[in-house]
Amino acid sequence: MKFFFLFLLFVPVSLISCNSGTTQDSSSTDSLKKDSSKRSITLNDDALLVISKDSSKLDSAIMLTEKALQLDFNNLIAHINRLSWLCKAQKYPEAFTEIEILDKMEPNNSETIFLHGLLAEKLSNIGLARVKYKEAFLLNDKRFKEMDSDDKMFQLARANWAINLYFLDEMSGKKEFNKINSEYPGNKTAADFLSLNRNKLLTEVIQNR
């Protein structure tokens, strides 16, 4: 009986000891994650500061966001900033890798999906480009047609919808830009899409996204 009693007494003590160690390990892991996240945010802020002081220092900003993502791969803002600067620096293969990541992180973001298509076309993956253009268009079309024409964001939404339509179906897109041009003769977006060739527009839209 004494042996049995001592055994019962021993087990809870052992369990308490194990649980305590597990709690400490978990606490240490959480602390390290928080520290990495903070350092990642700081590096991303540093990248933004570099660009704000000199917009030509894209490589430096890109490198800082790369370090930020090594510390915290889930830093969405760092991914978005890095993608923007890769596009501006015309580093299209790297930008394509980044947009694949973002497309998974934000699966229903029409802007991300559309840019995925643009970068695919830039890298001559026309099949994927068309799939992404259609996917983005269906999302944009639904939202645009639900908008009130008096909404202050209506014209911007219409322009974005027309841009998406142009890359999905060039002729239909030009028809829409002709309508916009007739209603608003000074509209630069409409003028550009009616006068510039597709390759030039592709580069400009990518760099301005």
What is the full per-residue pLDDT of the chain (209 aa) written as tens digits? 443 433 333 344 443 344 555 555 667 777 788 889 999 999 999 999 999 999 999 999 999 999 999 999 999 999 999 999 999 999 999 999 999 999 999 999 999 999 999 999 999 999 999 999 999 999 999 888 889 888 888 988 999 999 999 999 999 999 999 999 999 998 999 999 999 999 999 999 999 87
Give pLDDT, residue 23. 54
**What is the number of domains present in the chain?**
2
Give pLDDT, residue 198. 97
Same domain, 113 and 187: yes
Binning the chain into helix, strand and coil, the percentages to the nearest 5 are: 85, 0, 15
The DSSP output letter for 106 is S
Residue type (1 letter), 110 = S
Same domain, 117 and 61: no
Give pLDDT, residue 160. 92
Same domain, 80 and 178: no
**C-alpha closest to that of 165 among 155, 177, 152:** 177
Residue 15 in any domain: the answer is no
Same domain, 66 and 152: no
Give pLDDT, residue 182. 95
Rounded CA separation 64/43 (Å): 6
Give pLDDT, residue 208. 86
Give pLDDT, residue 29. 73
Rounded CA separation 34/50 (Å): 25
**Element spanning 63, H or E:** helix 58-71
Same domain, 123 and 206: yes
Please give the residue range of the domain that contains residue 59: 33-89
Q: How far, in Å, are 103, 196, 197, 198 from residue 59 at the CA level? A: 23, 29, 29, 28
Q: What is the pTM of this model?
A: 0.83
Give pLDDT, residue 66. 96
Q: How many CB atoms lie within 10 A of CB 133?
A: 23
Same domain, 136 and 65: no
Rg (Cα) of the chain, in Å, rounded? 26
Same domain, 202 and 150: yes
Give pLDDT, residue 186. 86
Residue 19 in any domain: the answer is no
